[in-house]
Amino acid sequence: MKIIVLLKRVPDTEAKILINQNGDGIREEGIKFVINPYDEYAIEEGLLLRDKVGGDSKVTVVCMGAEEATENIRTALAMGADDAVHICDPALKKPGPLTSATVMAKAIKDEGYDIIFCGKQAIDDDMAQVQGIMAEILDIPQVNVAVKFELSDDAQNVILQRRIEGGDEKIEARLPAIISCEKGLNEPRYASLPGIMKAKKKEIRTKSLADLGFDDVPGGGKSRILKWLPLPKGGECRMVEAEEISDAVGELVRLLREEAKVL
């Protein structure tokens, strides 16, 4: 079984995000970049499926991102993925979801696939669009936000569970399909020390747009990010204190009327 896992390099969840001066990106210096946490569930599910199916099954990581993403790909390989495709091209500096999906879909087609796992969204821009667009391009079923995964006995279908308002939904989909993974699907493993040493020898195939047969950046122009804005600063908190609660309420009303002018 040919298992594809999509991986994105994103700022660490604990990093303090600052918008750069032009408002077209974030300040990257001093920030740690990690595998998108939801993608870790995708990697783990891919590894579990590979080991269950056995035979010549393999997990191939597909990542589109800057050169530095190699270190995150290497971590996925250390977790146990077999090889990787790294799509890296200066023209792909800030791709929109349509571009990402188009380019990665081509790479996946070239690789061949039976199933694609990805995170339910990337925690950097939270677009959650790539899997949907990719399903359209590849013309395969998509199931999003899966918390449980099973392969049918004949290995032709997958049975998934997703948590919805008030209950769980069970869905069956025909393979090949693309599955986006939610927290709770599994417990992602650590890259073990033997895994880290083995990862050194695993192949990462680096591809440019030209390698994938694109003359130009595909899928541009449908939507455009105009500007990134910093979060508004939180106002200062003022405590209204008084001996009697009624005095405090009176003072609060006066402040709301006279200073804040909202009453």
Partner 1 sequence: MHIRFRSIEMDFELSEEQKMIRETARNFARKDLEPVAVEANESGVFPTEIYEKLGELGFMGMTVPEEYGGTNLGSLCLVIALEEISRVCASTAVAVSVHNSLANRIVLKYANDGLRDRFLPDLASGKILGAYAVTEPAAGSDLASLRMSAVKKGDEYILNGTKIFISTGNKAGVIVVFARTDQEDKKRGISAFLIEPGFDGFSVGKVEDKMGLKASTTVELVFEDCRVPAENMLGGEGDGLKIALSSLDSGRIGIAAQSVGITQAALDEAVSFARERKQFGKRIIDFQSTRWKIADMAMNLDAARLLVYRAAVLSDSEQRSSKEVSIAKLFASQAANRVVYDSLQIHGGVGYTKEFLIERLYRDARVLEIYEGTSEIQRLVISREVMEEYDRMMPD
Which residue shows structure tokens 């405090």?
A: 248
Site string for partner 1, 190-229 (x = CB under 8 A): xxxxx-xx-xx-----------------------------
Q: Name the segment binding partner 1 (CB under 8 A); options: 15-23, 162-170, 188-196, 233-241.
A: 188-196
For 200, how many CA atoms within 13 A lie in the half-sphere containing its CB?
A: 5
Please identify, using beta-carbon distances, which residue of 33 and 149 lies nearer to partner 1: 33
Distance CA 126, CA 256 (A): 37
Supply the angle between the helices 130-138 and 97-111 in degrees, to the nearest 10.
Answer: 50
Instruction: Give the 3-state secondary structure of residue 3.
Output: strand
Nearest to 48 by CA among 199, 150, 141, 142: 150
Report the nearest approach of partner 1 to the CB of residue 196 (Å).
Answer: 5
CA dihedral 104→110→114→117, nearest 10 degrees, is -20
| Pair 48, 186: CB distance under 8 Å | yes
Cβ 68 to partner 1 shortest distance, Å: 11
Q: What is the smallest separation between the CB atom of 190 and partner 1, expressed in angstroms?
A: 5
Q: Return all residues near 20 (Cβ < 8 A) that are at least 6 apart.
A: 26, 27
- Judged by beta carbon, residue 74 or residue 120, the one nearer partner 1 is 74
- Shortest gap between Cβ of 234 and partner 1 (angstroms)? 16
**Minimum separation from the CB atom of position 27 to partner 1 (A):** 20
Shortest Å distance, C-beta 123 to partner 1: 17
239 contacts partner 1 (rule: CB under 8 A): no
Residue 181 β-bridge partners: 119, 146
228, 237 Cβ separation under 8 angstroms: no
Determine whether 162 is exposed, middle or buried from the number of CB atoms within 10 Å of its CB (0-12, 13-18, 19+): middle
Query: x/- site string to partner 1, residues 46 to 85, per CB under 8 A?
Result: -------------------------x--xx--x-------
15 versus 191: smaller Cβ distance to partner 1 = 191
Identity of the residue, 47 or 98, whose beta carbon is nearer to partner 1 in the bound complex:
47
Which lies closer to partner 1 via its Cβ, residue 155 or residue 197?
197
Of residues 193 and 245, the one with the C-beta less far from partner 1: 193
| Closest among 209, 204, 215 to 103, alpha carbons compared | 209
Kindly list the residues in this chain that would bind partner 1 in the complex (CB under 8 A): 71, 74-75, 78, 190-194, 196-197, 199-200
